[in-house]
Amino acid sequence: MNKRILELFQEFPEAYVSGEEISRRLNVSRTAIWKHIEELRSAGYEFEAAPRKGYRLLSKPNTWQVNELLSGLRTKVLGQKIHVYGEVESTQTIAHALVASGAPEGTLVLAEAQTAGRGRMGRAWHSPAGKGIWMSLVLTPRIPVFFMPQLTLLSAVALCRSIQKVCQVDIGIKWPNDLLIKGKKVSGILLESSGEDERLKYVIAGIGISVNLKTEDYPEELRNIATSLAIESGADIPRESLVQAFLLEFEELYALYLEKGFAPIRLLWEALSVTLKRPIRTHTPSGVVEGIADSLDDSGALTVITQAGEKIKIYSGDIELK
Ligand code: BTN
């Protein structure tokens, strides 16, 4: 019943819903409504009750609302099984363990906070409690291991498109899969995999989205290079809606990819890129490369044209936009 009451308030965001209306729509007595509102209050929801007007939902608790997430989820596979945690070291570690005990494709691990969130290239990922989406998604594509970079780019496209749908922000992808708003990083993706006979056995897609962090939630050293969706859009974003949008977008692109290959994903990635045709610098095993980021090849590698006109392919690592 609490779930149905919440759904009703979601139909009328920020408005008063009268006791009469609730009682009529849900076929319950006024006393029962009051009891459910009290239960929701003790779960962290804030309601205002005004004589003759009814109830108004003021705020939701900033802990994961799994029922809400599941009730608005339109996917067939992804996120159909969700494991939610409070504080964990890393959702990646948990997802690997779940796969080992038979978790199927689409299993999602969500945490409020991570104490050892990991980023690409051995970096740490700042994951304070209740402020972001720190999640790991289990995938089992039976594709060759060397197609992993394509999945990385697909993840970035899904994430970028879902953020565009849910939040009014101007966001783009820096190769391979950092999401930037006005040059600052708002989200990162880390894919970890296990293969067998040169085919992928499973992939854990680790996604970090800085959703509702405020400037003071960042350590000093990150303030110039990182930002959040709330800082950039000027409003707090419901994390559940963003997870729903991301899983749906990912499921659709993943089906497209498994059917048609990388070509359509590559076009979508190019349309969202803030890297192509821009001057970049990167460190490769054979030294620093500077040039113009020209194009993405079929494997997902970035082709850079140096000042001397040489074409160099970058397969992994990080680039700096100049
Ligand atoms: C990066 O840009 O370096 C990738 C960051 C990935 C962070 C996410 S948060 C959820 C998942 N669990 C982790 O420990 N890391 C990923």
pLDDT tens across 22-66, in order? 999 999 998 999 999 999 998 888 899 999 999 999 888 778 989
Closest ligand 1 atom to residue 91 Cα is 12
Cα 125 to middle of ligand 1, angstroms: 6
Please say whether the beta carbons of 88 and 115 come within 8 A.
yes
Mutate to test the pocket of ligand 1, among 109, 190, 193, 209 (most ligand atoms within 8 A of CB): 190
136 lines ligand 1 (CB under 6 A): yes
pLDDT class of 3 with cuts at 50, 70, 90: confident
More confident residue, 187 or 12: 187
88 lines ligand 1 (CB under 6 A): no
Q: Once rounded to an integer, what is the mean pLDDT over residues 181-186?
A: 98
Residue closest via CA to ligand 1's atom 9 equals 208
Residue closest via CA to ligand 1's atom 11 equals 206
Q: Once rounded to an integer, what is the mean pLDDT over residues 222-228?
A: 97
Closest ligand 1 atom to residue 114 Cα is 14
pLDDT digits (tens, 9 = 90+) for 242-299: 999 999 999 999 999 999 999 999 999 999 999 999 999 998 878 899 999 999 998 9
Neighbour count for residue 179 (Cβ, 10 Å): 26
Cα 31 to middle of ligand 1, angstroms: 46
pTM of the model: 0.86
Closest ligand 1 atom to residue 90 Cα is 14
Q: Once rounded to an integer, what is the mean pLDDT over residues 191-218?
A: 96
Supply the mean pLDDT for the chain. Answer: 94
187 lines ligand 1 (CB under 6 A): no
Angle formed at CA 244 by CA 159 and CA 238, multiple of 5 degrees: 90
Please say whether the beta carbons of 209 and 242 come within 8 A.
yes
**Collapsing DSSP states into helix, strand and coil, what is residue 293?**
strand
Task: Look at residue 12 and tell me whether its pLDDT is greater than 90.
Answer: no
Residue closest via CA to ligand 1's atom 7 equals 208
Kindly report the backbone phi and psi dihedral angles of residue 149, in degrees, each rounded to the nearest multiple of 5, phi listed first: -60, -30
